[in-house]
Amino acid sequence: MATEHKPSITFHPEPRNLPGGEREYMMDVSTSDLEVNMGPQHPATHGVMKILIRTDGELVTAAQPHLGFLHRCAEKIGENVEWLQYLPYTDRYDYLASMNNNLGYSMAVEKLLDVEIPQRAVMLRMICVELNRIASALVAFGTYGLDLGAITPFLYAFREREWLLMIFEKICGARLTYSYLRIGGVFNDAPPGWLEEVSHFCDVFEEKWQEYYDLLMVNHIFVKRTADIGVITKEQALDFGLTGPMLRGSGVDFDLRRDVPYLRYKEAYDAGAWKVPVGSGEKGTVGDCWDRIFVRVQEMMESLSLVRWCLENIEEGPIIGDIAKTLKVPPGEAYVGIENPRGELGHYAVSDGGKVAVRCRVRGPSFCNLAILEDIMPGTLLGDAVAIIGSTDVVIGETDR
């Protein structure tokens, strides 16, 4: 942050004659930058987060995210409850992607247990996390348009999201915090007709996706507000450890599902069932706000393709491995990172052989992605601050935990 300095006034010795005969005494005035608090209760911060912005007129000279308003000691709780009891707490990191959070934690514990996951459970996991990725991207798409003044896309996005939440409710009884993906597999099998409804959703959603694209992504005003704004270069993205759409939006072709394979994603990729969307500077510069949101919009269709591949290849069988009710995890340590809707969600678990973790560490993608704001916001206009912050697509429950 720039240092404060007192205003200084210098009078010109000679006054200037104006056309009307008046005499104007000129003076030079220099002032300090203005500090603007965006948040913690601000509609554009997507939660209780504060961005301290320093401006010189309309020009942003510095920006600093202030976090911690939603801190709940999740990691410490993970070291004081049994392994399975911690699962519901993972729902509350990124509460828009609870299925994915369940998966990341379960896979870390399963790595310590060295347990085999039944193939039907693997496919149900993939279906659920990809549907949850679509539901999360719908919120990202809808709220980003809302941030920039477009109300209608938000209503369209929530129309399909509501259907997804009903699909989740039918398989696990919950609409937001699911606790469905369990250590060793999934909680229960798909009810009769559930897979058929998922297939029907895929058919309908493919038509609706085109509406989203036409309504917002090629809207002239939206393009002007996002193209060439908040550019993150490939080098910056790598230096700051960005992951997920933030990284791919800058033109870096990296996805954990393909490059550090888990479940059956690599098999689906090799079969041509999906691809990795990467920012290309289609409307402006590679790595701008438009690229970042378009990567998320494209990922919805790729998730749709993955769900269809799973529906074609799912088979009958058990839905959970051989897991004891009172879980004791062998001594050791394990780290598992998965591709969440906002980037790499990592779980580091350490066990001493007991029923409770010795260490439960979480790498939240939203927390890591926010660091770039201090680097890219100086030099931009204050009116573009909302567009840049919104393009990071943060969920505050994940930054604080």
Query: With 90 as the cut, is the pLDDT of residue 127 above it?
Result: yes
Strands 181-182, 359-363: pairing kind: unpaired
Confidence at 396, pLDDT banded by 50, 70, 90: confident
pLDDT 10s digits, 177-225: 988 999 989 999 999 999 999 999 999 999 999 988 999 999 999 999 9
What is the set of domains in the chain, with CATH numbers?
74-400 (1.10.645.10)
Tell me if the bond preceding 40 is cis, omega within 30° of 0: yes
Rounded Cα distance between 303 and 132, Å, is 9
The mean pLDDT value for 127-135 works out to 95
1's CB contacts (< 8 A; 6+ apart) are 54, 62, 64
Q: Do the Cβ atoms of 343 and 244 come closer than 8 Å?
A: yes
The answer to whether residues 31 and 7 touch, using CB atoms and an 8 Å cutoff, is: yes
Summarised one tens digit per residue, pLDDT across range 79-90 is 999 999 999 999
* pTM, full prediction: 0.88
Question: How many angstroms separate the CA atoms of 243 and 255, rounded?
Answer: 8
Report the DSSP beta bridge partners of residue 29. 9
**β-pair partners for 350:** 333, 359
* Confidence tier at 7 by pLDDT (50, 70, 90): very low
pLDDT tens digits, 11-50: 455 555 556 555 555 545 556 788 888 878 777 777 788 8
Mean pLDDT, rounded, of the chain: 88
